[in-house]
Amino acid sequence: MNAITTTTGEQYGVGKIVCVGRNYAAHAKELGNEVPEFPLIFIKPASALIFDGMSIIKPAYSDDMHHEVELVLLIGKNLKNVGPEEAQKGIAGYGVGLDMTLRDVQNELKKKGHPWTIAKCFDTSAAVSDFILSKHCSITPETRISLTVNGVVRQDAPLGLMLFDPAKVVSYISQKMTLEPGDLIFTGTPEGVAKVVPGDILSAKVAGIPELRVKVEAE
């Protein structure tokens, strides 16, 4: 089982990875999508996880792999049907992650009305930093999330632009499935998503959270 370790040494086995789509209005619009009324939810397998310093391997069947930098929540409690206040208490830690997406594959799936799974589930498609415990870190609406590719800024936005904040996202998901300790939640990406190619170096940052650096390689 994939496990994550916090900066202070706590270990969590990772169960499921739940992701939010279109959680920033400007990103929904850049891909020609409506702004959602409820959080749009999908799942990645835990087998997709990689960590700081590792490589993202682009599958041969895609020619348009995109970066999506996202704040990632580490769940610390069993949460079922909880409101935002209880949800907030269930967030044990924060990390920064990359929800790597095969945009060409996703566009084909969207056209057919199929689930996005094949565009989102490949090995190495969920990169995460080390996690810091919530009590050691303060996330505010002004906190910025950013991504550089080869040193050039591609994404940079305040977390306050999220349509559904972390407490609302966790509360919503807990109405649909039980969240368990070690589950991870990718909270959606701001605008600026774009293609990466083998050789690119990605650096994802959220102020106060350990940085995530990964390289892209060909399969």
By the criterion CB under 5 A, which residues form the site for Zn ion? 68, 99, 189
Kindly state the smallest distance separating residue 188's Cβ from Zn ion, in Å. 6
Kindly state the smallest distance separating residue 190's Cβ from Zn ion, in Å. 10
CA distance 122 to 100: 9
Distance of CA 175 to the CA centre of its chain: 20
For Zn ion, the closer CB: 68 or 82: 68
Whose CB is nearest to Zn ion? Answer: 99
For Zn ion, the closer CB: 82 or 206: 206
Kindly state the smallest distance separating residue 100's Cβ from Zn ion, in Å. 9
3-state SS string for 73-138:
EEECCCECCCCHHHHHHCEEEEEEEEECEEHHHHHHHHHHCCCCHHHHCCCCCEEECCEEEHHHCC
Kindly state the smallest distance separating residue 120's Cβ from Zn ion, in Å. 8
For Zn ion, the closer CB: 14 or 22: 22
Residue 214's beta-bridge partner residues?
Answer: 202
For Zn ion, the closer CB: 99 or 183: 99
Which tokens is 191 given? 């605008």
